[in-house]
Structure 1
Amino acid sequence: MSGSWFWLVRFSRRLLVRASFYAAFAVLAALAAVWFAPLVPRELAERLGGEAVEGVLTALASSMLAVATFSLSAMVVAYTAAAAQMTPRAASFVTDDSATQGALATFVGAFLFTIVALVALGANYYGEEGRTILFLATLIMIGLVAVRLVVWIDRVSRLAQHGHILLQIEEAARAAMKARHGRRFLGGKRLETPTAGGDAVVSTETGYVANIDPTKLQEIAVRADAIIEVLASPGDFVVRGAPVLNVVGAKLSDEDRAAACGAFSFRHARTIEQDPLYAMQILSEVGARALSPGVNDPGTAILVVDSAFRVLEEWIIETEEGDPAECSTCDRIRAYDLDGCALIAQSIGEVGRYGAADVAVAVKVQEALRALSAKRSGGLAVCASQQGAIALARAEHALPLEFDRERVRAAAAKGA
């Protein structure tokens, strides 16, 4: 995606943005009541334009402040618990949860709506007709708050549960996989090895590659009549001065070289949107924390293996359908494919490393890797088999009882 769109998407997911939007809309709704006052029938204004609205607004204001404070406290507690029991990377899914952000934004917006409306009432801003519109708007606001409160009660009961957060990580990994597969090789063609003798473009920043704009690179390649090979992928850590592009067939001008560097967006930490490997690593971190002596929760590690397997299985099915149609507008781009072996090794393989001393986890890892190797022939099956052999060797070394080692061997040999 383009760099501007990438940063806009990232910014829109912050709690500040949604809360500010709801608050601005609520303030506008409170002040806009006078605009619709001429549309109110006189009979309705006499019935609803009295003092009742002020009492309702006062009660709503006092309750919304308490509810918003409680909701924020619940989110902080859930974030702290997730960071302590799972991993800080997994805890970020608590604050990024759309239902949580929507609830907090609704409560803050309702509070500001009532405050602004009460101030306007005190200043005699509304006539009878305006007070009628305000009364109806208050009823709508109460309905929105009631619905959001019910949804929030259901969500807060699951906010810090391991299964709920694992599901969110799994969905994020699946979405990143789909995004990467939908624009495979950045919409161009596969890059196997860089061409020797090309014009290297080096990075002007140090950080993790968060986004690459292939459209901008294609424009530069067309203008220079060249082929651009992308040497860095989303999620790679790049230092200043390291080559990120290899230009074949031409030498870029200083202006095009600066524009090519501008096609890369860097961040101080990795992001999931175009980096499915990072999502799989977060899953393995959750499994590692669950298997630590302080937590000792092999059940969560088994759930991690299940989540990783489902994501990998779906990715295998999509890749078996063949490469997506090449984008005619990006025919001058060459980029690396997603490393399937790394996906397996840094998810299920890592859980196998940390869970080698637990027979239940070791058996689950063998079952998952055996199933993956059976679903695909070629290089990916070899990678899954290799990881299975490594996990088996670790379990052989870590398990003290021969009976447990036999169980793991049997799981590894089943179906072979």
Structure 2
Amino acid sequence: MEDKIRFFLSRTAERLWVKPLIVCLISVLVAFVAQLFDQLALVQNVPDVKTESITMLLKIISASMLVMAVFAVGTMLAAYQSASSSATPRAFTLVVSDDVSQNALSTFIGAFIFSIVSQVALINGYYEKAGKFVLFIITIIVFVIVIMGFIKWVDSIARLGRLSTTIAKVEKATADALNRRAEKPYLGGTKADQRKEGVPVYGHTVGYIQRLDMDLLQETAEREEFLVEIAVLPGTFVTLSQPLAFIRGGENMDKGIQNNAITNAFIIDKHRTFDDDPRFGLITLSEIASRALSPAVNDPGTAIEIIGIYVRLFTIFAQQPDVGKQTGVDYDRVAVPELAISDLFEDAMNAIARDGAGTIEVVIRHLKALRTFASFDNEDIKNAAIETASIVMSHAEQALKTPAEIAKLQAVSQRVRTED
């Protein structure tokens, strides 16, 4: 259930209309709540606030907030365009999910709706003495919220869309996905032996797997008394001819019903997401580095920064106390394949090895990072680092023409192989 809620909230945050709609409904509700105080005898001795003063404040809000909302949308769109062009379009969803910008836009629109509804109610005599006083207090609070929200938003929008901010967002999303996978390498199920035996189950949609509903898989497997072996992990592009899972046992089950139940457990859409797909985060960072290394941009510093991020990510991943060792099994009838370390390194390192081969400072930083990985007390990471170092050197030897530079790189590469 926790995974379902997290996935739902992540998808909701990517839609700009959700928060403004919720705030608009709250604004309408607040405007009418003030009238309830007219029915309480305890508040009849409140100060008498003139209708004209409240109307003046509400007119100021209504006249300015719509303009501010339009300005906010335009600024956010410019930031989104900057993020897509300077980093990679794959990071767009993370930039859109920025809470500060969404909260500011929601505040401006909500304040506008509140002022319009309150003015109409006020003109038609909806409020009495206590209601007018409460409405006045609420209006002052709305002013304060708008001002504080605007100040915070201005500070945030100055950074939103900048390359460094986008990189930080991708790093955080990738780190979160890697940590969740380190804690549950088999997504709470058992380890799949990858024999791919049994009755195959095929999907009805072509696209990327965004999430596996492990609860539904376990429930179906228990009801029909069979075992499910997952064939594809989140992030995999699947077609109609590619099995999603294999079923073992359950000779008396209704195949049509169980196939639909298992297929429905695979959330498939047109795009990959960061939540349960750590490889997508690594690929996105790699794309940012590759764009920085292109002749049109020529920014090796960004590529070096990305390599440093990889060192942080894999270090945190390797330091998890139970990495690769799931402490408990929540779904004993569902077997899930392990995420291969070699695939993670391929997603993260190969593009930088190819595109940065002609820049010696990038190659040296790359090899030094791999030397760090080779020192980890993890055989899979160590072997992947040594293999990647060979790929880096192969590209560099083809791109670099100076013997002194190649000799220097070979010395660094040798230390990767001999690192204890």
- Please confirm whether the aligned pair reaches a TM-score higher than 0.5, indicating the same fold: yes
Rounded to whole Å, the distance in 2 between the matches of 1:195 and 1:34 is 66
What CA distance in whole angstroms lies between the structure 2 residues aligned with 1:17 and 1:315?
34
**What is the match of residue 268 of structure 1?**
270
String of CA shifts for 1:190-226, please: whole Å, max 9, x gaps: 1132253x11112122111111111221122222322
1:233 matched residue in structure 2:
233
Aligned residue runs from structure 1 range 199-210, under 5 A: 199-210=199-210
Shift of 1:10: 4.1
The one-letter code of the counterpart of 2:240 is: R
Hey, what does 1:370 align to over in structure 2? Answer: 371
Work out whether 1:257 is the aligned partner of 2:259. yes
Query: What percent identity do the matched residue pairs reach?
Result: 29
- Greater mean deviation of Cα atoms: 275-284 or 108-117: 108-117
* Superposed counterparts of 1:140-151, under 5 Å: 140-151=141-152
C-alpha spacing 1:242/1:321, structure 2 compared with 1 (3 Å): closer
| 279-288 or 115-124, larger mean C-alpha shift | 115-124
CA drift of 1:4 comes to 6.3
1:131 is matched with which residue?
132
State the 1:49 CA deviation. Answer: 4.2
Structure 2 alignment gaps of length 5 or more: none
Q: How many Å separate the matches in 1 of 2:402 and 2:27?
A: 65
Preserved contact between residue 317 and residue 323 of structure 2 (Cα < 8 Å): no
Contact 1:199–1:250, Cα closer than 8 Å, also in 2: no
Partner SS, residue 127 of structure 2: coil
Partner of 2:296: 294
Structure-to-structure mapping, 1:13-412, within 5 angstroms? 13=13, 14-39=15-40, 41-46=43-48, 48-196=49-197, 198-251=198-251, 252-253=253-254, 254-318=256-320, 323-327=325-329, 329-412=330-413
Q: Deviations over 1:151-180 (max 9, x none)?
A: 111111111221111110010011112222
**CA, structure 1 residues 237+302, in 2 after alignment: closer, same or farther (shift >3 Å)?**
same
Q: Report the secondary structure of 2:205's partner residue.
A: coil
**What CA distance in whole angstroms lies between the structure 2 residues aligned with 1:403 and 1:204?**
57
- 2:223 alignment partner AA: R
Q: Structure 1: how far apart are the matches of 2:404 and 2:86?
A: 31
1:80-107 residue CA offsets vs partner (Å, 9 max, x unmatched): 1111121111233221111111111111
Q: Which amino acid aligns with 1:411?
A: V
**SS in structure 2 opposite 1:186?**
coil
Per-residue deviation, residues 265-319 of structure 1 (Å, max 9, x unmatched): 1101111111010011000011111111111111111111112221121111126
CA apart distance, 1:6: 6.5
**Preserved CA contact (<8 Å) 2:51 2:122:** no
Deviation at 1:122, TM superposition (A): 2.2
> What is the CA–CA distance in structure 2 between the aligned matches of 1:160 and 1:314, rounded to whole Å?
27
Amino acid at match of 2:242: A
Q: For residues 234-280 of structure 1, give each alpha carbon's deviation from its aligned partner in whole angstroms, at most 9, with x where no partner exists.
A: 11111113211111223442211211111111101111111010011
Aligned length, in residue pairs: 413
Q: Which amino acid aligns with 1:208?
A: Y
Tell me the TM-score normalised to structure 2 length: 0.93
Of 256-265 and 371-380, more deviation after overlay is shown by: 371-380
Letter in structure 2 aligned against 1:128: K
Match of 2:8 in 1: 8
Relative distance call for 1:11 and 1:162 in structure 2 (3 A) is closer
Structure 1 residue matching 2:94: 3-state secondary structure:
helix
Tell me by how many angstroms 1:133 deviates.
0.9
The CA deviation at 1:356 is 0.9
Distance (whole Å) between structure 2 residues aligned to residue 379 and residue 373 of structure 1: 10
Contact preservation (8 Å) 2:12, 2:18: yes
Cα distance change on mapping 1:59 and 1:279 into 2, 3 Å: same
Q: Is the Cα contact below 8 Å between 1:2 and 1:213 reproduced in 2?
A: no
Structure 1 vs Structure 2 CA RMSD = 2.0
- Stretch moving more, 396-405 or 169-178: 396-405
> Higher mean Cα deviation, 353-362 or 317-326?
317-326
Corresponding residue SS for 1:187: coil
Change (3 A) 1:11 1:394: closer
AA at the equivalent of 2:303 = A
Amino acid at match of 1:299: G
TM-score by length of 1: 0.93
In 1: Cα distance, 2:124 partner to 2:57 partner: 18
Question: What is the distance in 2 between the residues matched to 1:6 and 1:142?
Answer: 33
Q: Does the 8 Å CA contact 2:216/2:262 hold for their aligned counterparts? A: yes
